[in-house]
Structure 1
Amino acid sequence: MPKSQVRKKKVYTPPTDVRPAVAAASKKPSPVWVPFSAVFLIVFGIAWLVVYYLSEQQYPVEAWRFWNLAIGFGCMVASLGILSRWR
Structure 2
Amino acid sequence: MPKSRLRKKSDYTPPPPGGTAAVNLDAGRGWVAPLMLTMFLVGLAWIVVYYVTSAAWPIGSWGNWNILVGFGFIAAGFGVSTQWK
Same fold by TM (over 0.5)? Answer: yes
2:38 aligned partner:
40
The residue type paired with residue 32 of structure 1 is G
Letter in structure 1 aligned against 2:52: L
Q: Distance in 2 between matches of 1:48 and 1:79?
A: 14
Equivalences for 1:58-77 in 2 at 5 Å? 58-77=56-75
User: Could you say which residue in structure 1 is the equivalent of 2:47?
Assistant: 49
Report the TM-score when normalising by structure 2.
0.68
Please, which runs of 5 or more residues in structure 1 have no aligned partner?
1-23
Q: Kindly, what percent of the aligned residue pairs are identical?
A: 32
- Larger Cα Rg: Structure 1 or Structure 2? 2
CA distance in structure 2 between the aligned counterparts of 1:65 and 1:32, rounded to whole angstroms: 36
* 2: CA distance, partners of 1:75 / 1:60: 14
Amino acid at match of 1:49: I
TM-score (norm 1): 0.66
How far off is 1:67 after superposition?
1.3
Distance in 1 (alpha carbons) for counterparts of 2:67 and 2:49:
11
Consecutive unaligned residues of structure 2, counting only runs of 5 or more, are 1-21
Number of residue pairs matched? 63
**Cα offset, 1:58, TM superposition:** 0.7
Give structure 1 regions of 4+ aligned residues with deviation exceeding 3 angstroms. Answer: none
Letter in 2 for 1:60: P
